[in-house]
């Protein structure tokens, strides 16, 4: 198998802005690292097999202050290689990329298809798109860089042989399928609100459907209008919350929040449920579930050596009960791993998931 470094023809450094952002443990936010002020640290970030945050808070936070939320990045190189491998881009293909970011991936695509004119890359943020255009031009590449909502695709250059999304999605937009020729391929980090996403590869069919398999674990930023959000109950709400005890032990709770175990399945069976896990210290962990639309919330408070643990729940949904039931289903189904799942998007946009084969009896339609 080819090493991922050999698959990435284009160097990364020319596409990384002079200011990037890193975790700040003091504030639990993000602070800027400038190439001008600390070139060795900037260079180490560029050369590492790690994602690089290139924008926070949709560009509203300036260097010298603390950012709260990453909003654009350059993806981890080994995952970039894995996605390009799944896409199977060949010379002469027409490719649509959703999420230009720094432009580095668009440059990789341009090398593979043989000409930048066969690559269209769509970026929702005008400032990010402008920086990518300049970086691509400076490096000698000429894909079409379009500023707009990538979920709409880009009809003027359709049909495409390949579509790749470099941001996470919970639903595959109909436009991507409509703009891909039959036999074409769509690759995207796809998943639910509950946890990380799976590298998902779909083939488009003559009848307007698309289907394929899920794969490795990916943790990408969500496209902007599908972002996940959380609730912070007030003290009064917490005091009024229903309190019970969980019967699950530590190993079971670990499986419930781990992608490779039950988490992917739980997300598929419990709609609109955003999972967050916070390790307060070595002895305390909070597992929280959020549904901002119904204003439902749950928290399991884990204290080392003090189980069974307390669960608080608020709102019309009992999210912990739903997640617990989904975990039980996963166990009864033989504990399927994420790579056993497949997805079919029907011509009318319905998302059906299945285990092992599309006609398996363990098949159901997702709700969003």
Q: Which residues form the catalytic set?
A: 75
Give the Cα separation of 290 and 314 in Å (integer): 10
Record the tokens describing residue 251, joined without a space. 């190993």
Q: 144-163 as b/e, with b when 16 or more CB fall inside 10 Å?
A: bbbbebbbebbeebbebbbb
**To the nearest 10°, the Cα dihedral for 332, 258, 234, 225?**
-100
Secondary structure (3-state) at 75? coil
Give the Cα separation of 191 and 265 in Å (integer): 10
Closest alpha carbon to 287 in 304, 311, 268, 308: 311
Tally of CA atoms within 13 A in the half-sphere of 217 that contains its CB:
11
φ, ψ of residue 76 to 5 degrees: the values are: -60, 125
Secondary structure (3-state) at 259? helix
**To the nearest 10°, the Cα dihedral for 355, 252, 275, 175?**
-10
Secondary structure (3-state) at 311? strand
> Please, is 177 exposed, middle or buried when counting C-beta atoms within 10 Å of its C-beta (0-12, 13-18, 19+)?
buried
DSSP 98-109: E--TTSHHHHHH
The distance in angstroms from the start CA to the end CA of the chain is 38
Give the Cα separation of 358 and 341 in Å (integer): 9
Dihedral sign of CA atoms 334, 270, 278, 60 in order: positive
């Amino acid at each position: 198998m080819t090493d991922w470094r050999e698959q990435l023809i284009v160097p990364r450094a020319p596409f990384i802005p002079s200011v990037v952002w890193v975790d700040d443990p003091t504030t639990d936010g993000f602070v800027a690292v400038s190439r001008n002020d600390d070139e060795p640290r900037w260079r180490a970030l560029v050369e590492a097999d790690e994602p690089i945050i290139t924008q926070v808070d949709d560009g509203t936070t300036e260097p010298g202050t603390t950012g709260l939320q990453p909003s654009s990045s350059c993806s981890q190189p080994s995952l970039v290689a894995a996605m390009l491998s799944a896409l199977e881009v060949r010379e002469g293909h027409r490719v649509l990329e959703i999420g230009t970011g720094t432009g580095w991936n668009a440059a990789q695509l341009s090398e593979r298809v043989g000409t930048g004119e066969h690559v269209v890359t769509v970026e929702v943020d005008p400032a990010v798109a402008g920086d990518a255009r300049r970086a691509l031009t400076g490096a000698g590449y000429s894909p079409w860089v379009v500023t707009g909502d990538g979920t709409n695709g880009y009809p003027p250059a359709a049909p495409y042989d390949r579509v790749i999304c470099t941001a996470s999605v919970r639903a595959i937009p109909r436009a991507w399928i409509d703009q891909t020729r039959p036999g074409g391929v769509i690759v995207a980090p796809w998943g639910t609100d509950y946890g990380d996403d799976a590298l998902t590869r779909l083939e488009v069919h003559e009848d307007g459907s698309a289907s394929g398999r899920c794969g490795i674990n990916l943790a990408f930023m969500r496209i902007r209008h599908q972002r996940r959000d959380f609730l912070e109950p007030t003290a009064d709400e917490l005091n009024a919350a229903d309190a019970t005890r969980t019967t699950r032990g530590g190993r079971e709770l670990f499986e419930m929040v781990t992608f490779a175990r039950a988490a992917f399945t739980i997300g598929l069976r419990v709609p609109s449920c955003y999972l967050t896990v916070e390790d307060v210290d070595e002895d305390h962990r909070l597992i929280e579930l959020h549904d901002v639309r119904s204003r439902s919330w749950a928290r399991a408070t884990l204290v080392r050596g003090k189980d069974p643990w307390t669960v608080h729940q608020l709102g019309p949904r009992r999210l912990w009960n739903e997640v617990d039931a989904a975990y039980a289903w996963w166990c009864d189904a033989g504990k399927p791993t994420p790579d056993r799942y497949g997805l079919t998007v029907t011509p009318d946009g319905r998302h059906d998931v299945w285990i092992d084969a599309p006609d398996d009896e363990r098949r159901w339609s997702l709700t969003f």
